[in-house]
Structure 1
Amino acid sequence: MEITRIGSGLGDPAAIEALMPELLAFDTVVNRASGLGADFDPIPEDLRHSLTSTSRYRTTLTWIGRIDGVIVAKGVAELRLTSNTDTAEVWCGVHPDHRRRGLGSALLTVMENELRAEGRTALSSYCEIPESVRVAELRGAHLPTETGAGTLPVAVPEVAFLHRRGYGFAQIERCAVAPTATAAGLDLGADADDYVIETWRGPVPEQRLEHIALLKRRMSTDTPGAERFGGEESWDGERVSALDEEKKVRGEEMATALALLDGEPAGFTQVGHSADRPAVGWQGGTLVRREHRGHRLGARLKVANHRSLAERTAVERVYTWNAVENSWMLAINDQAGFSTWAWVGLWTKNRR
């Protein structure tokens, strides 16, 4: 297998554009084989952005494996550039027709060795298992997470692969989906407190940039299991604006709900939706600061944001992800009409 590496923004633009149809076809085949469904098919602008754009905060590396000129394997590494610069989030996939031949291991070995040589020694990865697949393997052996909360079937190839490659099964998340109208129609009753919830679509307003930056910093430390995937991330208003600009280039719009108490940020939630797939929403960050918990802010934020989506967009359903030990957020999502779609295993590997 011949392996080539592409650094985001470093390849020849014409060559990248010529490569796009082949990579889109490969990613689509891999996704359909996973059983996750058409909503998870690659979005062209997202793929193009990962190959052509970089920023001072994050960048992407892509490895392509070919046999006789045909793409049979692909790997991706997401790199942080201003904090946690020893980390990398990696993923690799093999075409269904070429599996069980060692190609995934060969590609991942190249990726790991190159990343380690560049100082990226704390690796993380993930695998997404549809609920139907997990249920089908309930009677077989299961691998527990390091937290003790949740398991995945050992017989699932993605689980076996990462376990065999020395990755520790750190955490599991539930991916759930709900009709936008369900949460939008919830009546949580009157709130006897002074919290104010603002909603908007598109870029973060200038007067809220530092508020969102603070909440994103806290996301990297306050969510369950965050310490396993790196330390606190550096966020400021400038980085929030830069992220908004990236999303605009990709044709993605964010719907945001922000909770304030006496003008100070208490929590937020965001949902992104793409012009390429307008009926589908993807949950971004959701956080209620520790000192503001116990006021149903998580539910109130999600309901407010879903109402905004229902009234102002074509989004019909939203997917969300939560750690299984995050029982309070799971309860909020259950109340909002979310049902399990898939399970996401989060894995870590340190190679110092």
Structure 2
Amino acid sequence: MSMQVKEIELAVGDPASEAWLEVHHAANRAVWGEGTSRTSIEEILDIAPRRHEVRRTFVVLQPGAHGAEGPVAAAQTIRRTRENVDTAGVWLSVHPDHQRQGIGSLLLARCEQSLRDDGCTRIHEHSGAPVEQGDAATGFARASGYRQTLLDLRQDLALPVDDAALTALDPGPDDTAYVIETAVDALPEEWLEDRAVLARRMSTDAPSGDIDLDEEDWDAERVRQQWNTPSPIWALESVARHVPTGRLVAFTDLLVRPGQPDLAIQSDTLVLREHRGHALGLAVKLANLRALQRERPDVRTVRTWNADTNTHMVAINERIGFVVTGWTREWAKEL
């Protein structure tokens, strides 16, 4: 039976959209088992405008009995519209019952051509596995012409963590030099200008491996749009304020998504270079963990990713109790 690639529009409550998403979930479960990640149509639709992205959604349909069609592969192309507009992403999964039949190559070719047509010249994406040497996705990326640009460690922390253990780890920064502040589910207005500076620096200071990306253009309005407008994603952030200047000089955040409310994602953490050496990274992470356990006791795991070369941040996570649960490879391909 012939297969066809079809472009669709995602919608909350739409059975075709949910069937598309289930292909991704099934592929994840086959790789990660109990450690799999889950998402929802609601948050996928919410994320794109916040990140200044245009996403196109594709599905491979295979005819079944009596003419019924079922999705066997799913993908999205992710095109940026604010900076790095020539660099795109592809999120692609093939249902485990239909892998190694050429379906992934068929769908990837369609996604790549779509991005070429939209003016993109490079794809930068990632794949993960619970084994260090990689898995079938690693081989698929290499066979499709992608080169590895970075290796990230996935680290998980089981909750709850005893508060006494967190207190014992707390470096207790000199409060005449730095104070730690925490915001729940929205950032204070007075943070936004400084928070924009931190986000801009995050885009260039974080390890990016063998790929050049432009500095991101952040201002207070962009921070407000991402963090302070209604969203199904719950957020928590702690910052370090430099007392003599009153400026924010470090931050870390945690996200809880509706598709997986028992998991918190620790996404970005940054200490400005000129304020490193005062254990501020550890201090803001501990403040966030305390707030998370107080505000969201339903969360059972915190998950984060760091470049394997970022040994300082990996070591901080290990001190807190994080353990390595996977390896993520970042890939690039010139179109």
How high is the TM-score relative to the length of structure 1? Answer: 0.85
Residues 89 and 123 in structure 1, CA contact (< 8 A), matched pair in contact too:
yes
- Tell me: CA distance 1:268–1:56, structure 2 relative to 1, closer, same or farther (3 Å): closer
The percentage of counterpart residues that share the same residue type is: 32
Offset at 1:226? 6.1
Q: What is the alpha-carbon root mean square deviation over aligned residues?
A: 2.2
Q: Secondary structure at the match of 2:14?
A: helix
Offset at 1:88? 0.4
Offset at 1:63? 1.3
Cα separation, 2, equivalents of 1:12 and 1:20: 5
Q: What is the aligned partner in structure 2 of residue 334 from structure 1?
A: 318
Alignment of 1:309 with 2:288, yes or no, is: no
Q: What is the aligned partner in structure 1 of residue 58 from structure 2?
A: 63
Cα separation, 2, equivalents of 1:13 and 1:310: 33
Alpha-carbon deviations, 1:192-241, whole Å to 9, x = none? 36111110111111111122211111111001126725211111111112
- Tell me: CA distance 1:39–1:167, structure 2 relative to 1, closer, same or farther (3 Å): closer
Alpha-carbon deviations, 1:110-131, whole Å to 9, x = none? 111110121111211111101x
Q: What is the aligned partner in structure 2 of residue 191 from structure 1?
A: 173
Offset at 1:46? 2.1
Alignment of 1:176 with 2:176, yes or no, is: no
Cα separation, 2, equivalents of 1:12 and 1:270: 28
Listed as ranges, the matches of 1:1-352 within 5 Å are: 1-6=3-8, 11=9, 17-37=14-34, 39-49=36-46, 54=49, 57-68=52-63, 69-130=69-130, 133-134=131-132, 152-153=133-134, 156-182=135-161, 185-186=165-166, 187=168, 188-192=170-174, 194-225=177-208, 228=211, 230-244=213-227, 248-249=230-231, 251-261=232-242, 262-314=245-297, 315-351=299-335
Amino acid at match of 1:299: L
Amino acid at match of 1:3: V
- Tell me: CA distance 1:215–1:269, structure 2 relative to 1, closer, same or farther (3 Å): same
Cα separation, 2, equivalents of 1:94 and 1:317: 27
Cα separation, 1, equivalents of 2:247 and 2:10: 46
- Tell me: CA distance 1:39–1:252, structure 2 relative to 1, closer, same or farther (3 Å): farther
Q: What is the aligned partner in structure 2 of residue 143 from structure 1?
A: none
- Tell me: CA distance 1:43–1:37, structure 2 relative to 1, closer, same or farther (3 Å): farther
How high is the TM-score relative to the length of structure 2? Answer: 0.89
Alpha-carbon deviations, 1:323-345, whole Å to 9, x = none? 00000000100001000111111
Cα separation, 2, equivalents of 1:170 and 1:319: 22
Cα separation, 1, equivalents of 2:149 and 2:315: 22
Q: Which consecutive aligned stretches of 4+ in structure 1 deviate over 6 angstroms post-superposition?
A: none
- Tell me: CA distance 1:340–1:195, structure 2 relative to 1, closer, same or farther (3 Å): same
Cα separation, 1, equivalents of 2:266 and 2:162: 13
Unmatched 5+ residue regions in structure 1? 135-151
Cα separation, 2, equivalents of 1:26 and 1:207: 43
Q: Secondary structure at the match of 2:196?
A: helix
Offset at 1:56? 8.1
Offset at 1:38? 5.5
Q: Secondary structure at the match of 1:299?
A: helix
Offset at 1:32? 0.8
Cα separation, 1, equivalents of 2:290 and 2:141: 40
Offset at 1:173? 0.6
Residues 183 and 237 in structure 2, CA contact (< 8 A), matched pair in contact too:
yes
Cα separation, 2, equivalents of 1:205 and 1:242: 13
Amino acid at match of 1:191: P
